[in-house]
Structure formats: C-alpha cells, structure tokens
Amino acid sequence: MWPTAREGRLLEAVPRTMLNATLSPVSGEAGDEPHEISSSAAMVADAISGRTATNVTARMRAAGGWRALRRGIALGLVAVLASFALSACGSAPGRAPGTASVVSAPVRNAHTRLGAIGYRVVGSGPPLVLIMGYAGTMEVWDPRLVHALALHNRVVMFDNSGVGRTQPLPGELTATLTIDAMADQTSALIDTLGLGRPDVLGWSMGGMIAQALAVLHPAQVRRLVLCATFPGTGAVVPSQAAIRAGSLFPANQVNAYDAFTAAISEYPAAPAPSAATKTAQAGAVTDWWDGTDAAGRKIARISVPTLIADGTADQLDPVANDHALARLIPGARLVLYPDAGHGFLFQEGTRFASLVESFLTGHPGS
C-alpha cells in the first residue's frame, strides 16, 4: 500500500537548506569535499529534526493508519534496490580494475546455530563484516568499493535472513521478523566463521542491524560504520515523492548511476527475495522506525568507536536521521558527502573507502 499524497506531504523531511547551514568543511572547498559535523551543530540539527519527527508522528497517528503507512513506505524501498538489479541485467561492461577477485569469489554456506547463511570472503587482514540493506543480496555491494576495502581487510559479505542463499529465520513465516533477530543471525555467522571481534559496516537496513548487533553482542564489534541509516528511537521517514523517485543517486549523477549498475552486473545472478521475505523485513524496519524495536531503543549504550556517513541529498533517509544518530551514540563521528544520495558510498567509493580505512586504523582522515 502506498501513502496518499496528503500523507506524503506530512512526511517531508527537514529542508536541506536548514541542515546545510550546520555543516563545516573538513577540507577543501564547500560543496566539493565531505563535511564533518561538529557536536554543537549536530545538536542544533537534531533539535530541528526531533521537533519535525514529533509533530509528524502526532499528526499521522491522529489521522490513523500509521503502521500500515510505514509498512507501505518500507515495502516501497524494495523497488529501489530491485530497479538497480534489473537495470544491470544483460549489461556487458568492461570489468573495473581489481573487481575480478570480488565478483568471482565463491559463495559459501556457513552452518550456524541460526541456520545456513550464504557469504563471500575477499581480501586479507582484520575482519570487516558488511551488512546489506533492505531485500538486497550481497550482489548489490559495488565490487569496486569491496575491492578497495579488501586491500587492507578480510571483507565478509553475506545475505540477510531469507535473501539469496540464507535460510529464513522463523519470524519470516509469521511476518514477525525483527532487526534484533537479524542481528542475532549476524552474530551467529561471526561465531561460526571465528571472526572474533570484527569491524562492522552496515548500509540502510544493514545499518539498523549493525546497531542492534553492537547493542546485543558488544563483544563482537570492534568499530562500527553506519551508512545512510536510521536511529531506532523514532526516525524521520522518506516522503512519498522520494519513494516514487526511488533513486540511490541525485538526478545530476547519471555517470555514477551508470557506473554502479555496470559494476554490479559483473556478479553472477542471485535468487530474488520472496514476497514473504519482503513483507517480513518491512515489518522489522517499521518497528525500528517507530522506536518499538528493543535494541533500537538502547542505541545510546553503544560504546565502540562509531563512524556515521551519508549524502546530503539522501532522499530515502532524510539527513536529520544522521544528526540524530550522531547525538545518540557517544563520541560518534558524522561525515556527509555533498551532492550524494542514499548510494553515496558507491558514488564516492574511493574517498569513502579511504575514510573507512583511516577510521578503522584509528588514524585521523577526511
């Protein structure tokens, strides 16, 4: 079910101009380089976003149909990833340098305490676990980004519950799947592979799972990277117009879009998620957005070093959520990429991989 036009207007995010005023450049000219947010600026932006989220919530709940609307919006996000996967089918681009080791890495099965999980491993070094977003297979990870991360890390990417080659968790059968349950399944994979205390990077819904993992299994997370994701204490959700547009990249980034679809087309075909999996994940995301997920309400307890990153033009995850996360997680660092959207980590892959590496090694970097 899609939200009505009136409901979409009520869910519009904080105006970009209000939030851009809080940004201070890390280096280079404004508009060209990623921006790091000062703690005071983050508090101002969070206050703005908090008022907006509270007012929207009250108005929507008064109108009724709140949860159904949220679930409809969550289901709409599936179409975004699906559109990229479908557009990549049948492409025959030249392979990007270095990506052969990524796309040709065999899919393995880990037999964990919570069922079989499909995964790939690329590179060597300290373990880095990548957690994919809503209804996406691990073949949505841009192999150029994975290759860059694998230069210094043993990168482990896998399919979430019921996606690709991973066994569904019991909650999928009754549409009671939770973010916490998927975090437990991630924990089971870490145990089975003997990764100890890896670094963890989550994108979109994967960022929610990463937060829950850090709350529920803190001994299994060394450092945390949260990409274009939402706080579990109540979030500003994307508007109807943003869902209809359904783009990971701003309209003026056609080359980035083309490069991304060409890159992911290099992977072998993967099984598409079932309707039941999409519905179950939609429910899990809705609970997180509503602030009713158990671990989501406790993200202020996260104590590991945390990097939060997004694009300033992210229409699928309003930037107000990044500011809220930065305030909630003690000591978190927030970096925003100008003129980049929900897929900022693919659009700005080289710079983002460099940022991640400097963060994981504990060295200051931009």
CATH topology of domain 5-360: Rossmann fold (3.40.50)
Strands (E), the chain: 24-25, 35-36, 108-112, 115-122, 127-131, 154-158, 199-203, 224-227, 306-311, 333-337
In degrees and rounded to multiples of 5, residue 54 shows phi and psi of -65, -45
* 290, 237 contact by CB (below 8 A): no
* 27, 364 contact by CB (below 8 A): no
Chain centroid to CA 115: 23
Alpha carbon distance 212, 246 (integer Å): 26
pTM above 0.85, yes or no: no
Q: Which helix (H) or strand (E) holds 28?
A: none
Q: What's the N-to-C CA distance of the chain in angstroms?
A: 41
Alpha carbon distance 90, 93 (integer Å): 10
Domain assignments of the chain as residue spans, ordered by start = 5-360
pLDDT of residue 231: 98
Tens of pLDDT along the chain (366 residues) come to 222 222 222 223 333 322 332 333 333 333 456 767 543 333 333 332 333 333 333 333 443 454 555 555 555 555 555 555 544 544 434 566 678 999 999 999 999 999 999 999 999 999 999 999 999 999 999 999 999 999 999 999 999 999 999 999 987 766 789 999 999 999 999 999 999 999 999 999 999 999 999 999 999 999 999 999 999 999 998 887 887 777 899 999 999 999 999 999 999 999 999 999 999 999 999 999 999 999 999 999 999 999 999 999 999 999 999 999 999 999 999 999 999 999 999 999 999 999 999 999 997 654
Residue whose tokens read 């994307």: 238
Number of H-type helices and E-type strands within the chain: 14, 10
